Chain A
């Protein structure tokens, strides 16, 4: 958790220093997307080679899937209400 914050802060400081270098910043989204792909591939890889997860994927997996879909939908719906009530101005800020 500390490493997580450290990475964010280091990046933040560097970003602040180079904030005028528009040429580099243009490529930032692209580099980020490629890193996202790499990360997901690696996460998939560790799921695929975990025998406990793979072996139980079909039976216990269904219960787990139902629970996680319910958790995601429940929190998405409540967050939608919060978004509409309290976060409208953040949306307007964007452009």
Chain B
């Protein structure tokens, strides 16, 4: 729990400094976070490589591994459909399309902006960014109340890259391979599902 508070503090500090700092004086490239991510993935690779238990797990799981992305799709669509009644200006299908981004905000928000306009595009962008942020920040709580698959489910398409370090930390490295698998399946499926609902 202490570590997740430190994580939130660093994230908030990042937002604050990003907002305050004048880019003409102090420029931070977006590439930097990409490099940090790649370094992290490399570290996760090391921890998987030095413990071959992971591969025994895949063999053991067999077809069951498919239930993870399936659970994410069903759960997400049920969730957003349930709250769609709260919005007067967003239809059920638009809610389902936003949900079908599964955290993959760049791709899904571009599609939605093109088809349904800029306002809905921004809702999709924010909603999918928030999904990623919730996963990054709330993974310890998700594990505690919903089990070790929950951060993978919450991460959606991002569970193969940006949220993978956090998922590995709180669900254990046994779940890293499941996480990459689920995230990959969802990433591939995003463009099909988003366009299907619009």
Partners in one complex: yes
Chain A residues near B (Cβ < 8 Å): 1, 3-4, 7-19, 25, 28, 31-33, 35-50, 52-54, 56-57, 60-61, 63-84, 86-87, 89-91, 93-94
- Can you name 9 A-B residue pairings with CB atoms under 8 Å? A32-B168, A60-B126, A64-B126, A67-B95, A68-B128, A70-B79, A72-B142, A76-B154, A90-B61
Q: Is B153 located at the chain interface by the 8 A CB criterion? A: yes
CA gap between A35 and B17 in the complex, in Å: 19
Contact status A71-B79, CB under 8 Å: yes
Chain B residue nearest to A14 (CB atoms) is: B46
In the complex, which residues of chain A have a beta carbon less than 8 angstroms from the beta carbon of B52?
16
Q: How far is the CB of A42 from chain B (nearest CB, A)?
A: 4
- Cβ contacts under 8 Å, B150 to chain A: 76, 79-80, 83
Which residues on the A side are within 8 Å of B131 (C-beta)?
68, 71-72
What's the Cα separation between A81 and B38 when bound, in Å? 32
Contact B123 A87 (CB under 8 A): no
Flag if B36 contacts A87 (CB, 8 Å).
no
Question: Once bound together, how far apart are the Cα atoms of A67 and B90, in whole Å?
Answer: 11
Inter-chain CA distance A39–B174, complex, in Å, is 22
Considering only residues 105-128 of chain B, those with a C-beta below 8 Å from chain A are 119, 122-128
CA distance A81 to B121 in the complex (A): 32
**Residues of chain A with a CB closer than 8 A to B41's CB:** 4, 7-8, 11
Q: Is the interface of B mostly helix, strand, loop or mixed?
A: helix
Q: From residue B77, how far is it (CB to closest CB) to chain A in Å?
A: 7
Complex contacts, A25 vs chain B, CB 8 Å: 46-47, 50
Given contacts A11-B46, A75-B72, A75-B74, 4 further A-B pairs with CB under 8 A are: A19-B51, A48-B17, A67-B98, A72-B135
Distance between Cα atoms of A42 and B163 in the complex (Å): 14
Q: Is A67 in contact with B12, judged by CB distance below 8 angstroms?
A: no
Most chain B CB neighbours (cut-off 10 Å) among A46, A61, A93: A46
* Bound CA span A63–B143, Å: 26
Counting from the closest, the 8 A-B pairs by CB-CB distance are A11-B45, A44-B14, A74-B79, A15-B49, A48-B18, A78-B75, A75-B75, A64-B126
Contact A79 B38 (CB under 8 A): no
Q: In the assembled complex, how far is the CB of residue B191 from the closest CB belonging to chain A, in whole angstroms? A: 13
**Interface assignment of B152: CB less than 8 Å from any CB of chain A:** yes
Evaluate contact between A45 and B15: CB separation under 8 angstroms. Answer: yes
Q: Give the contacting residue for A15; candidates B38, B46, B148; CB below 8 A.
A: B46
